[in-house]
Amino acid sequence: MRAARRWREVVAPVLLGVVALLAWQATVVGLELRPFVVPSPTAIGEQLADHAAVIAAASWSTARNAFWGLLIGVAVALLAAAVSAAVRVVDEMSAPLVAATAVVPIVALAPVLYTMFGANAQTARIVVAAIVSFVPVYVNTLRGLRTVTPVHRDLMRVYAATRRQTTRVVTLPGALPFFFSGLRVAASVAVISALVAEYFGGPVDGLGKAITSAVSSSNYPLAWAYVAGAVVIGLVFFCATLALERGVLHRGNLRQRP
Amino acid sequence: MSATAPTSPSSRSGPVEPAGPPDSPDATTTAAAAVEVRGVSRRFASRSGDVVALSDVDLTVRAGEFVSLIGPSGCGKSTLLRLIADLDRPTGGELTVFGRPPHVARQNHDFGIAFQQAGLLPWRSVRANVELPLELHGTGRAARRARATELLGLVGLADFADHRPDQLSGGMQQRVAIARALAESPSLLLMDEPFGALDEMTREHVQTELLRLRAESGAAVVFVTHSIPEAVYLSDRVVVMSARPGQVREIVPVALGSAGDRTDGLREDDQFFDRVRAVREALHGTDGATGVGRGVDQR
Ligand SMILES: Nc1ncnc2c1ncn2[C@@H]1O[C@H](COP(=O)(O)OP(=O)(O)O)[C@@H](O)[C@H]1O
Ligand SMILES: [Mg+2]
């Protein structure tokens, strides 16, 4: 049972990955594809090994921006969701703004932000990541805070529970799974937006910058090696939020909602 | 009194017998009635005109008495229960719970409540769910724990104290909800179709269990159901309601002996069938006209 699950969750995906890499290699070699179309995994691997230190440095720089952006975005989202849940008017006033933030591609604002905060600072990238991670966390958390089952509401009323008690006992625990599904989305988009923001200017460190410069010097396997670095950051962020979610929900005996 | 055979109606005059004529004088002189409903109406405004959920309802539930509300769906049973629980306010008339307005009784934790949905908090253990009202009202940790252990033992779930609600069957969850409702030993228990979602076997089991628990606590019970046998089996009196507008059509005294002494054997008893027929006739009108009792479970 346990072994079977481990097989499904770990061995099977790894096996699939290996098969995919082999197929990729075979296709590139067999069809004699040129590197600018797509380089072979071995060529990318070579670049990864040769430039490990620079790739790690670039990844670290992007990851740091994504992390601070995520942290700030989540903190502001939680605060805003709490206020909106408590004060209906705030929610109604801010709804159009939140909707606009959700649909406007914030990374497109990057050039403006670079002028605002200075092209030598990372601030613009952090701000982009923060705004982008704000939206899913805010929307989900607010929905969670609003979703109190009628039977629980009735129960707390019958118990003459204070507002604070109701919040602690029913509202917050009920909202936690909603918060975490927002956080999972936010973690991915924070990495993507921090990286993409680099395309629009700012300091020369970071994966986005590294990818553009590798491509402009026609070093396609190196560009792909940087992309591999981006994949690793994305995975680290995703796994970290997942671990946090499991840890918190399990400790508090909180059931996970879809 | 035998534990298996139903006691005769004459034992009603016994000192521990809570059932009796609804207007017995000592109901008003010795202690306040558990629930007193006087000319209560509840009208809901809606776009397609007003809905009169309750119209001029009178009802007295004495302390320690088990009263069921039965009637076609939409006749206002839940509405009446919610008015008693101060989850809603009447648009006319007056209610008291132990002589006090419902909101005072609620602030005073005078009653426990259970709904059709168990409504357990899924993120808390079974034990922590039972402890919830005690926790909210400031009972100490040790006392809470002791009380929860005791109650879970009474509802036969001692081994499940540390489980999560979603690991329990529907019947078990409902028993936890009843344990929670009894946690503070309320003198009034309000129940809205608590067994409505259970299968027949489980249902009969928890019914007997409820009677036993209730006999120990001596609480008055207002019990909403749409099952005639359930109402008869559990109650001292069955309040038969009619719809549009919701009104009390008739109150049928069950008089099958103290509800606390009833056991499963009673379900096979002629007197039991007799009362079931009486309630059914009250529901459908004495001439047995059909249609009125639609939505009422005949099981
Ligand atoms: N909150 C509400 N708003 C509008 N109408 C309601 C509301 N609650 C109940 N009603 C109406 O009042 C009537 C009685 O409802 P209810 O008390 O739930 O009936 P029962 O529990 O006997 O099935 C129904 O016609 C129902 O539609
Ligand atoms: Mg109802």
The answer, yes or no, to whether residue A191 has pLDDT greater than 90, is yes
- Closest approach of chain A CAs to the CA of B117, in angstroms? 7
Choose the weakest-confidence range: A23-27, B205-209, B260-264. B260-264
CA of B286 to the centre of ligand 1 (A): 26
Identify the sign of the CA torsion A151, A153, B106, B245. negative
Q: Residue with the nearest Cα to atom 2 of ligand 1?
A: B44
Residue B7 has φ and ψ, to the nearest 5°, of -80, 155
pTM of the model: 0.77
Question: What are the pLDDT digits (tens) for A83-142?
Answer: 998 888 888 888 888 888 877 777 778 888 888 888 788 888 999 999 999 999 999 999
Owning domain of residue A196: 54-251
Task: Give residue B197's pLDDT.
Answer: 80
Q: Between chains, do B87 and A155 touch, taking CB under 8 Å as contact?
A: no
Task: Give residue B176's pLDDT.
Answer: 93
User: Which architecture does CATH list for B26-110+187-286?
Assistant: 3-Layer(aba) Sandwich (3.40)
Residue range B245-260: average pLDDT?
81
In SS3 terms, B216-252 reads as: HHCCEEEEECCEHHHHHHHCCEEEEEECCCCEEEEEE
Q: Residue with the nearest Cα to atom 1 of ligand 1?
A: B44
Q: Please, is A236 exposed, middle or buried when counting C-beta atoms within 10 Å of its C-beta (0-12, 13-18, 19+)?
A: middle
Task: Give residue A165's pLDDT.
Answer: 92
CA distances from B269 to A174, B208, B212 (A): 48, 15, 19
The answer, yes or no, to whether residue B142 has pLDDT greater than 80, is yes
Residue A118 is part of a domain; what is its CATH number? 1.10.3720.10
Q: ipTM beyond 0.90?
A: no
Name the pLDDT band for B263 (thresholds 50, 70, 90).
Answer: confident
Task: Give residue B215's pLDDT.
Answer: 82
Closest CA to A117 of A104, A107, A127: A127
Nearest by CB: A252 against B87, B123, B132: B123
- Closest approach of chain A CAs to the CA of B223, in angstroms? 16
Tell me whether residue A20 is in a domain.
no
Please list every protein residue whose CB sits less than 6 Å from any atom of ligand 1.
B 44, 46, 51, 53, 71, 73-79, 246
Ligand nearest to the CA of B192: 2
CA of B71 to the centre of ligand 2 (A): 10
Task: Give residue A236's pLDDT.
Answer: 93
Closest CA to B12 of B261, B208, B269, B278: B261
Q: Which residues contact A203 (CB under 8 A, 6 or more apart)?
A: A119, A120, A121, A122, A209
Task: Give residue B225's pLDDT.
Answer: 93
Q: Please, is B141 exposed, middle or buried when counting C-beta atoms within 10 Å of its C-beta (0-12, 13-18, 19+)?
A: exposed
What does the alpha-carbon distance between residue B283 and residue B229 come to, in Å, rounded to a whole number? 13
Domain extent listing, chain B: 26-110+187-286, 120-185
Q: Which residues contact B212 (CB under 8 A, 6 or more apart)?
A: B260
Question: What are the pLDDT digits (tens) for A31-42?
Answer: 888 877 788 888
Q: Which atom of ligand 1 is nearest to the CA of B72?
A: 22
The answer, yes or no, to whether residue B161 has pLDDT greater than 80, is yes
Question: What are the pLDDT digits (tens) for B173-185?
Answer: 998 999 999 888 8
Instruction: Calculate the CA dihedral of residues A164, A167, A169, A173 and round it to 10 degrees.
Output: -150
The answer, yes or no, to whether residue B29 has pLDDT greater than 50, is no
Tell me whether residue A228 is in a domain.
yes
Residue range A57-71: average pLDDT?
94
The answer, yes or no, to whether residue A53 has pLDDT greater than 50, is yes
Question: What are the pLDDT digits (tens) for B120-131?
Answer: 999 999 999 999
Domain count, chain A: 1
3-state SS, residue A22: helix
Position A144: which residue type? Answer: G
- Ligand 1, from B68, B69, B78: best to mutate by most atoms within 8 Å of Cβ? B78
Question: What are the pLDDT digits (tens) for A200-228?
Answer: 887 888 888 889 888 888 888 899 999 99
CA distances from A192 to A86, A127, A143, A197, B106 (A): 32, 13, 25, 8, 53
CA of B78 to the centre of ligand 2 (A): 4
Q: Which residues contact A37 (CB under 8 A, 6 or more apart)?
A: none
Q: Residue with the nearest Cα to atom 21 of ligand 1?
A: B78
104-123 in chain B: CB under 8 A from chain A: 106-107, 109, 111-113, 115, 117, 119, 121-123
Nearest by CB: A160 against B106, B112, B135: B106
Question: What are the pLDDT digits (tens) for A136-175?
Answer: 999 999 999 998 889 999 999 999 999 899 999 999 999 9
Q: Between chains, do B136 and A159 touch, taking CB under 8 Å as contact?
A: yes
Task: Give residue B9's pLDDT.
Answer: 42
What does the alpha-carbon distance between residue B69 and residue B57 come to, in Å, rounded to a whole number? 12
Residue range B262-278: average pLDDT?
81
Tell me whether residue A198 is in a domain.
yes
Position A103: which residue type? Answer: V
What does the alpha-carbon distance between residue B59 and residue B48 come to, in Å, rounded to a whole number? 30
The answer, yes or no, to whether residue B8 has pLDDT greater than 70, is no
Task: Give residue B216's pLDDT.
Answer: 80
Task: Give residue A152's pLDDT.
Answer: 93
The answer, yes or no, to whether residue B256 has pLDDT greater than 80, is no
Closest CA to A172 of A78, A77, A73: A78
Task: Give residue A2's pLDDT.
Answer: 66
Task: Give residue A204's pLDDT.
Answer: 84
Name the pLDDT band for B2 (thresholds 50, 70, 90).
Answer: very low
Place of tokens 């300091």: A203
Whether the CB-CB separation of B32 and B46 falls below 8 Å is answered with no
Tell me whether residue A70 is in a domain.
yes
- Best residue in A148, A152, A158 for a mutation probing chain B (most B CBs within 10 Å): A158
The answer, yes or no, to whether residue B260 has pLDDT greater than 60, is yes
